[in-house]
């Protein structure tokens, strides 16, 4: 069993962080960053995040595991059909990677290759079903595998999305498909997180609240205008704009969100975007 699954099963408050593969082949900087992360159970490896082309997430996840750092491999449906998705999953299992976060993925038009043709042969709910089958020792065509993976599959949820009833319907489908934990997109208001946690509680699936370090009002406005599904509230933008030190204010805002998560959730997923030295203060 992965450490992430064991800690969640034991009722411990779990902290995950994330790193992005480089746009190139030099892994040294991102590996150095991952090795410095403090107080983190597992590290997500993003998969062409925002539809921007980067080095293969599976390679970086494998390198992290080789160094004793537990990865959470993100896998999106945008760039692969069902054959390639299953192939990459089996490759991950062969490397000893158990934690996977299964995502549909942002559309290609939002990334740095907007003319790329998206695949979306499957969506995240269907991919969860595929992983459940692989864990039983069969592929999507019902053919037996030589060796059975032990994946610990997770899924994403956006607490701020509306209408919330549709969000909850998708959450239930993901749980039925085999989701064993959820990581949320960035949360900025207590009421949204409390609403989600209360709705998911009967499903008995841990929720890790997404905590994004927003370093300035300029960054907040960029997120709102350029990142699908992102909504930094006006009051948060105003706090950053009025702060003498916007980075310190961003850390304070993130710390407040961690405080809410300690009340309502089973952990947090920290997105510090290169400012990993702030993690101990965010968790304080």
Q: What is the pLDDT along the chain (284 residues), one digit of tens a residue?
A: 999 999 999 999 999 999 999 999 999 999 999 999 988 999 999 999 999 999 999 999 999 999 999 999 999 999 999 999 999 999 999 999 999 999 999 899 988 999 999 999 999 999 999 999 999 999 999 999 999 999 999 999 999 999 999 999 999 999 999 999 999 999 999 999 999 999 999 999 999 999 999 999 999 999 988 887 788 999 999 999 999 999 999 999 999 999 999 999 999 999 998 888 899 999 98
pTM of structure = 0.95
Q: Residue 26's CB: how many other CB atoms inside 10 A?
A: 10
Q: Considering the domain 3-208, what is its CATH architecture?
A: Alpha-Beta Barrel (3.20)
Q: How close are the terminal C-alpha atoms of the chain, in Å?
A: 29
CA atoms within 13 A on the CB side of 251: 14
Can you give the residue ranges of every domain in the chain? 3-208
Distances (CA, A) of 121 to 76, 80, 84: 11, 7, 10
């Amino acid at each position: 069993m992965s450490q992430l699954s064991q800690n969640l099963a034991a009722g411990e408050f779990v902290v995950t962080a994330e790193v992005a593969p480089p746009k190139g082949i030099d892994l040294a900087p991102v590996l150095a960053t991952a090795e410095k992360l403090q107080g983190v159970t597992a590290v997500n490896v993003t998969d062409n995040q925002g539809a921007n082309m980067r080095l293969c997430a599976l390679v970086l996840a494998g390198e992290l595991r080789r160094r004793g750092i537990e990865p959470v491999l993100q896998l999106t449906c945008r760039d692969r059909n069902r054959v390639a998705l299953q192939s990459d999953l089996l490759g991950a299992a062969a490397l000893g990677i158990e934690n996977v976060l299964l995502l549909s993925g942002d559309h290609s038009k939002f990334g740095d290759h907007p003319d790329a043709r998206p695949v979306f042969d499957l969506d995240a709910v269907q991919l969860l079903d595929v992983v459940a089958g692989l864990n039983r020792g069969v592929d999507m065509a019902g053919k037996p595998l030589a060796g059975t993976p032990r994946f610990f599959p997770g899924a994403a949820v956006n607490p701020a999305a509306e209408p919330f009833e549709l969000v909850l319907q998708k959450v239930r489908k993901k749980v039925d498909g085999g989701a064993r934990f959820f990581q949320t997109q960035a949360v900025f208001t207590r009421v949204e997180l409390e609403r989600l946690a209360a709705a998911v509680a009967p499903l008995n699936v841990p929720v890790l609240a997404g905590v994004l370090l927003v370093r300035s009002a300029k960054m907040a406005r960029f997120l709102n205008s350029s990142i699908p599904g992102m909504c930094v509230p006006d009051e948060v933008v105003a706090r950053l704009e009025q702060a003498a030190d916007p980075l310190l204010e961003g850390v304070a805002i993130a710390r407040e969100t961690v405080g809410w998560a300690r009340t309502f959730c089973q952990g947090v997923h920290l997105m510090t975007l290169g400012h990993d030295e702030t993690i101990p203060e965010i968790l304080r």
